[in-house]
Amino acid sequence: MTHDHAAGGNAPRHRPGDLVAFASALLARAGLDGDKAAVVAELLVDADLMGHTTHGLQLCAPYLRELETGSMARTGMPEVVSDRGGVLTLDGHRLPGVWLTAHALDLALERLPRHGLVGVAIRNSHHIGCLAAFLRRATERGAMMLLFSSDPAAASVAPFGGTRAVFTPDPVAVGIPTDGDPILVDVSASITTNGLTGRLHREGGRLPHPWLMDAQGNPTDDPGVLFADPPGTILPVGGLDHGHKGYGLALTVEAVTQGLGGFGRADAPKGWGASVYLQLMDPEAFAGTPAFVRQTGWIAEACRSNPPRPGVAAVRLPGQQGLARRREAMEHGVALHPGILESLRDWAGRFGVDMPA
């Protein structure tokens, strides 16, 4: 996924804990039971802390609407479809995808010491938010994590060479422990995301480059083409030049999320949702953790110390800036993107929840 930018320096700052408590109260009043509201709130705010502002609290108001209409389930637990110990398939019954993914991650972490490698497919989930927000939970335990997501009920990305949408942006996240900070990869098979294009369309903005195509196949930087009739599409990673690379990645993501879970586009599902695949690897079960972090630490340092090209201050690792933003926000507060809290003001009034200071 393309990186969002945190709000400007003049924006008011909020204590992360206050934002988590605020979002948790809203989601609980909307009917989420058990620990669901608290888990969803924490992971949404964590996305904002790392600078992924289109996939943090901006999602809270749409989630509340989905709960109100019944499109997102409020209560219950996922159904176990298949369980072989190291391989598990869950039917989420449209429960909050952020909570489902965190629940699946907890199950995988419990099983990892016994199996060394654990894969969990989740079908019939709701949207899972920011993939990067889950990675630290695995890397802090010394595990490497893969996370893939697609929405089989939606399409905004055409196959390379085509003009009609087949795929969603199909994000891929990878958490890699090192001898220091983890490497946190969060990318997608498309050049940009629905979240960013939707925000720019609402705000009357344009993309920095022609990352989209209109319905006739002409490249453009205007997000409005995605909302036209007929709609345009988001280009795959590589664009018009090397888009076969993003196309191949999209096919892979759709196979592991929808194929392994046994539920996807072939079923013509309705409603905003997700098919998910999560995999954990325990380096100790392979060549051992010291050997693993020796290699990942070496490659991390080789990247950081690489001579930068003109105009680049220093080579960064994936996740490096997000982790730095998170540490700074935990100490000094987080500045939310304009409009995010305003989108929740009416919900706060309806539910009798105080707005955060």
pLDDT in tens, 1-40: 334 554 555 778 999 999 999 999 999 999 999 999 999 9
pLDDT value, residue 7 = 57
Q: Are 297 and 179 in contact (CB under 8 A)?
A: yes
Q: Where are the beta strands (DSSP E) in 241-317?
A: 274-281
CA distance linking residue 191 with residue 233, whole number of Å: 11
Give the mean pLDDT of 305-317: 98
| pLDDT higher than 90, residue 123 | yes
pLDDT value, residue 39 = 98
What letter does residue 6 receive in the DSSP assignment?
P
CA distance linking residue 281 with residue 234, whole number of Å: 32
pLDDT value, residue 13 = 96
Give the mean pLDDT of 203-212: 94
Distances (CA, A) of 239 to 94, 102, 219: 33, 33, 9
CA distance linking residue 147 with residue 277, whole number of Å: 6
pLDDT value, residue 4 = 54
Q: Classify burial at 305, counting beta carbons within 10 Å of its beta carbon; exposed 0-12, middle 13-18, buried 19 or more.
A: exposed
Q: What is the pLDDT of residues 313-348, one digit of tens each?
A: 999 999 999 999 999 999 999 999 999 999 999 999
CA distance linking residue 318 with residue 301, whole number of Å: 13
How far is Cα of residue 97 from the mean position of the Cα atoms in its chain?
A: 10
Instruction: Give the pLDDT band (50/70/90) at residue 195.
Output: confident
Q: Where are the beta strands (DSSP E) in 128-285?
A: 144-150, 171-176, 183-188, 212-213, 219-220, 233-234, 274-281
Strand partners of residue 80: 90
Give the mean pLDDT of 232-250: 97
Q: Are 164 and 156 in contact (CB under 8 A)?
A: no
pTM beyond 0.85: the answer is yes
Helix or strand run (H / E) with residue 17: helix 16-29
Write the single-letter amino acid at 243. G
Q: CB count, 10 Å around CB of 300? A: 20
User: 4, 304, 281: which is closest to 119 by C-alpha?
Assistant: 281
Domain annotation for the chain: domains and CATH numbers: 78-191+235-318 (3.30.1370.60)
Average pLDDT, the chain: 96
Q: Are β-strands 117-125 and 87-91 bridged in parallel, bridged antiparallel, or unpaired?
A: parallel
| pLDDT higher than 90, residue 196 | no
Instruction: Give the pLDDT band (50/70/90) at residue 98.
Output: very high
pLDDT value, residue 8 = 52
pLDDT value, residue 9 = 55
CA distance linking residue 154 with residue 274, whole number of Å: 9
